Amino acid sequence: MIKLVALIPLFPLLGFIINGFFGKKISKSLSGWIASLAVLASFVVSLLIFMELEHSEVKSHIVPLFSWINSDTLKIPFEFLVDPLSSWFLLIITGIGFLIHIYSMGYMHDDEGFARFFTYLNLFVFFMLLLVLGNNYLIMFVGWEGVGLCSYLLIGFWFKNTAYNNAAKKAFIMNRIGDLGFLMGIILIFVTFGSISYDQVFTIASTGNEGTVTAIALLLFIGAMGKSAQLPLYTWLPDAMAGPTPVSALIHAATMVTAGIYMIVRSNVFYSMSEQASHVVAIVGVATALFAATIGLFQNDIKKVLAYSTVSQLGLMFLGLGVGAYSSSVFHVTTHAFFKALLFLGAGSVIHAMGGEQDMRKMGGLWKHLPITGKVMAIGTLAISGFPLLSGFFSKDEILAHTYEHSPTLWFFGQVASILTAFYMFRLLFLTFFGKFRGTHEQEHHLHESPSTMTIPLIVLAILSMFGGVLGLPEFWGTTNWFHHHLDPIIAHKNPSILNHTKEWTLMFIATAAALATIFFAYMVYIKNNILPEAKDEKLTGIKKLIYNKYYVDEIYEAVIRKPLDLLSEGFYKFLDLQVVDGIVNGVGSAVTGVSSLVRKVQTGHIGFYIFGMVLGIIAILFFTFIK
Q: Domain boundaries in the chain? A: 1-180+236-259, 298-535, 554-627
Nearest to 63 by CA among 134, 131, 9: 134
Alpha-carbon distances of 446 from 110, 244, 307, 430, rounded to whole Å: 16, 21, 27, 21
Contact 81, 133 (CB under 8 A): yes
Instruction: Report d(CA 101, CA 107) in Å as an integer.
Output: 10
Contact 330, 487 (CB under 8 A): yes
Contact 124, 255 (CB under 8 A): yes
pLDDT for the residue 208: 86
Nearest to 116 by CA among 66, 161, 157: 157
Radius of gyration of the chain (CA): 30
pLDDT for the residue 479: 66
In sequence order, the β-bridge partners of residue 82 are 61
For 259-323, what is the HEC assignment? Answer: HHHHHHHHCHHHHHHCHHHHHHHHHHHHHHHHHHHHHHCCCCEHHHHHHHHHHHHHHHHHHHHHC
Helices 28-54 and 84-107, packing angle to 10 deg: 160
pLDDT of 485-522, one tens digit each?
889 889 876 555 556 777 888 888 999 999 999 999 99
Neighbours of 482 (CB within 10 A): 12
pLDDT for the residue 628: 63
Reported residue count of the chain is 628
Instruction: Report d(CA 512, CA 300) in Å as an integer.
Output: 27
Q: What is the pTM of this model?
A: 0.91
Instruction: Report d(CA 79, CA 347) in Å as an integer.
Output: 39
Instruction: Report d(CA 105, CA 451) in Å as an integer.
Output: 10
State how far Cα 327 lies from the chain centre. Answer: 20
pLDDT for the residue 612: 82
Instruction: Report d(CA 534, CA 205) in Å as an integer.
Output: 56
Number of helices followed by number of strands (H, E) in the chain? 27, 2
Q: What is the mean pLDDT of each successive set of 10 residues along the chain, which is 628 residues long?
A: 92 96 90 96 97 91 92 88 96 95 92 94 96 96 95 93 93 94 96 94 90 96 95 92 90 85 96 95 97 94 94 96 94 95 95 91 92 96 94 92 93 96 96 92 88 94 94 71 87 64 85 94 93 78 89 94 91 89 91 86 78 87 82
